[in-house]
A and B are shown apart, each in its own frame.
Chain A
């Protein structure tokens, strides 16, 4: 129940785009049409669902203070938390590589649709941000981390698809002032949607 609540909250209230503005670079660059936006969204969701639990395991059994005590008494006082940034980004980069190879081998059609986005994901702030939030909030269990990852990913997918749909319409039907065309109007659209998403604040199941 608690995990379901967290999952829903991660999609709507703690939305990666509208509440934290993570992954904005690729969000702005790829939201020009719905199809590619959806592809990138799926890829990001996929990576968040994979990397968050892996990084949770790493955090709990290797990095946090005293986490190494399962190795023996003398390791109980070791604190490796200063290494967490490097470890997380290494996990994310290598996972991206692994997933790319696996997808290429087992599902060439999915690879063809996601292919170009997969390598870009290693440097998407939403992925690293998810792991860092996980560390900061001290998620209690493996499943909590997985649920939060899935929620954040789906929230990102929702946001990029919605904004891409709006941008498609704006590009063909609206007369936007020249200096605002392209990036400027996208910022304003995202801001207005962010304000709209604030109405979800306080949602509870």
Chain B
């Protein structure tokens, strides 16, 4: 019974209390770059969930055979292999999105979330909790990505997933899309707002 509760917290903690992006501050680069629209944000989120889950399991399976002093290279090779698979799949089945994401799929390799989770969790735990940890952290990451993408696309272009959601009558009444939201620096401000909201609710996360 104790183990079950443990697994559950391993899976659910990264959603909010220990979110990889806004609490551990890992993997920021891609959060900011791919969130102009919701669709690439979703695809990126799913790619990271997949890579993170599989690499966590693989590293966890071979954790006892990896020599400690070359473990970084082993981890990089495992992650790079998985990313190449994801990259090729996207180019084959979702070419437009893969064009929009450009180099950022490749940059999943150096996404700090992956190295962080592999080092901190998969190297010390059995495959099943590692899988849960990978999926949990991936979802926590994707969650932030989707929130940021949602607000930036809604306020910046007035659309969601490419469909217009702001009614024409708004524009007739003088509403204008906020072009500032499309600019890259605004992603930082949106993430800062998420951090602000989350830390006001969770007092123990605040820094002094």
Residues of A participating in the B interface, judged by any CB pair closer than 8 Å: 18-25, 28-29, 82-83, 85-86, 89-90, 93, 119, 122-125, 127-129, 132-133, 136, 177-185, 187-188, 190-192, 194-195, 198
- Sampled A-B contacts (9; CB under 8 Å): A23-B29, A25-B26, A25-B27, A90-B77, A132-B106, A177-B196, A179-B196, A183-B25, A190-B185
Whether A181 contacts B208 by the Cβ 8 Å rule is: yes
Which A residues are in CB contact (< 8 Å) with B29? 20-25, 125, 129
For window 81-120 of B, CB contacts with A under 8 Å fall at 81, 83-84, 87-88, 102-103, 106-107, 109-112, 115
Known contacts A24-B28, A24-B32, A188-B189; 15 further A-B pairs (Cβ under 8 A): A18-B184, A22-B107, A89-B80, A90-B80, A93-B76, A119-B72, A125-B110, A128-B106, A132-B106, A136-B103, A179-B198, A181-B207, A187-B189, A188-B188, A198-B185
Whether A21 contacts B110 by the Cβ 8 Å rule is: no
Which B residues are in CB contact (< 8 Å) with A183? 25, 195, 207
Of residues A20, A127, A179, A188, which shows the largest number of chain B Cβ atoms within 10 Å of its Cβ?
A: A179
Whether A187 contacts B112 by the Cβ 8 Å rule is: no
Residues of B participating in the A interface, judged by any CB pair closer than 8 Å: 25-29, 32-33, 72-73, 76-77, 80-81, 83-84, 87-88, 102-103, 106-107, 109-112, 115, 183-189, 191-192, 195-200, 206-208
Q: Known contacts A22-B107, A122-B72, A183-B195: does B32 contact A86 (CB below 8 Å)?
A: no
Whether A194 contacts B188 by the Cβ 8 Å rule is: yes
Whether A125 contacts B111 by the Cβ 8 Å rule is: yes
Q: Which residue of chain B has the shortest Cβ distance to A29 in the bound complex?
A: B25
Q: Known contacts A89-B76, A93-B73: does B103 contact A133 (CB below 8 Å)?
A: yes
Which A residues are in CB contact (< 8 Å) with B73? 93
Whether B110 contacts A128 by the Cβ 8 Å rule is: yes
Which B residues are in CB contact (< 8 Å) with A179? 195-200, 206
Whether A123 contacts B199 by the Cβ 8 Å rule is: no
Whether A187 contacts B33 by the Cβ 8 Å rule is: no
Give the CA-CA distance A82 to B188 in the complex, in Å. 32
**Minimum CB–CB distance for A96 against chain B, Å:** 10
Give the CA-CA distance A82 to B91 in the complex, in Å. 11
